[in-house]
Structure 1
Amino acid sequence: MDGSSGQMIMASRPKPQPRLYEIRAVSKMTGVQPVTLRAWERRYGAVETRRTSTGGRRLYTQDDVQRLSLIKSLVDLGESVGTVAVLPTDELAARLEAVLGARAGEPRPDVLVRVAVFGPRLASMLHGDFSHRGIELVAVHSDQAACETLPPDLAVDTVVLEFTGVHEDTREQVLGCMQRARASRAVVMYDFGNLASVASLKAPPIAAVRGPAEPEDIARACLVLAAPGRTRPDPDLVPETTGEIPRRRYSRARLNRLRESTTQIGCECPHHLATLVGQLYAFEDYSAECENRNAEDARMHAYLHEVTARCRGELEEALSRLIHFEGLED
């Protein structure tokens, strides 16, 4: 209160600061490696990052993240990074929509599901080529109302929608959007909702994913909803194997004797360690003999066999040292 005039003096509130992200978080959100993010900024001026006062680490705004996601999507679709990195963000979005629209009518025999995306957050994160997962993005819009204006000849299998909150009538809204887009299925990304409303979105032909979600979460939901049991294994999940399986150092009879042994102070470590080694022997045999439905199964089982054998080798070495330490040699 100003004593001379009696007028109330209000302190001005500071403006809220925009949320800033470090480069590792941006890499995860956009799918662009940190070294590439640095190169895009240094060579092409793709974004102008802020820097921390200590250490000079890059800081990105939400607008930067959206812009980088658009550039990544266009590059994935065959555009030159040097060409698109200098474009304004609105031109990037328009260019991406044009490229996707031009490709929408092209037949893709490797595609399991054709997806149309509606929502601001979804539009900023779901770009690029998902064909390796059996998905083709045929339309990406930030406004859900755009489902009413899709070209009549555009084939859509699944619509992906976003809702901050879900309510009793959300399922009807989703079904209405499916009808307007001529889609047979829908995936909903939501943030909040009561149990009954959320449950109504988890019954076919609708699936629900709690936000914030990763692009891979949305892709997986689309594939599972479209063809349960037919989703393609991600080849990156199974590393190449070396074929090096260490020789086993103990017979099962020797392990059984170690399980029954006790030390002078009553330590049960030999018993437990011998049990673990025996269990790994059993799983090794199982993974080597497990039935393979296809080549991907065979790769996964070979990987499991090799990893288990390496772990078993480490435990065998520990058991050998323990046997010597406790004087349990035969």
Structure 2
Amino acid sequence: MIGERHVNLAVLAGLVIVPLWALWADEIFTITLTTRAVILALAAVGLNIALGIGGMVSFGHAVFFGLGGYAMGILAFHAQSYTPLQFGPLSLAGTKSMQVIWLVAMVTSALAAWVIGLLSLRTTGVYFIMITLAFGQMFFYFAISWGSYGGEDGLSIYVRNGFPGLNTLVPIQFFWLCLVALCVALVVQWRLRTSPFGLTLNAVRQTPQRVETVGLNPRKHKLVAFVISGAITGLAGALFADLNRFVSPTMFSWQLSGELIILIIIGGVGRLMGPVIGAAIFVALEHWLGGLTDFWHIWLGVILICIVLFGRGGVIGLLTGKEGPHV
């Protein structure tokens, strides 16, 4: 068996080598696929903070992914149409800078996570799962009925937003931007997991009653983790919208929430690189098997069943011989 650190380094090396090879071989579509995997991994990293460290099985994390996407889409829509978007005295007309859009997306998603967390964390277990699912469906149907921004048809963005010093329309440059965002999120996850806050959150996941007896508030710790998780997932949603230059209500769908959970389970719940491995496997299966059959999810289901039955630590657990945390 090999150590988890070696697995992590190998995964990071793969994320760098694959797009460089694709650039050398002039396989531009492979760079786009890798970018898609990186963005989905970023969204799953956000969920992994809530699920892997905090033990919160959220079936509504697509809310934050969708809010990040729509924050980007709405700002870009008003920028390309030169229609001012007013928030009291504040006008965001002409906003095409990714930094501003990322900030808006993360703040919007964090605020939504705070409100949803305040209500959802009053419950536990299957009730928590169902209430997060209910919030996801509420936002999904709201987006469908929001005719000002495309409704069920979604909203097209004709020009990708800019970043200083980069041409974001060049696939490899946009990939590096997304990879840096993923690496920062991974560092945040690692620091959280090893910090006193993360250790307390891990204790809350295992035995909340004991944590409460020493004078700590388990719900408060979970809420903070849930807000951080939502903000990171919202950033991924904004990047995903920029990648596709399109947003639609499907970004709020419960299927997407389920896929994010599947990514984490495949890679390894609570593992640093678990979401990255899961996203890479998911995108690879979607590309290769999706070209052969519309029912490629069957094979994804087979892989998931095998991992749940025989590899509780996910792919990383199989490689290292160590199980991950039990949620």
TM-score (structure 1 length as normaliser) = 0.21
Between Structure 1 and Structure 2, the one with more helix by share is 2
**Which structure has the larger Rg?**
1
Between Structure 1 and Structure 2, the one with more strand by share is 1
Higher RCO structure, 1 or 2 (CA under 8 Å, sep 6+): 2
TM-score (structure 2 length as normaliser) = 0.21
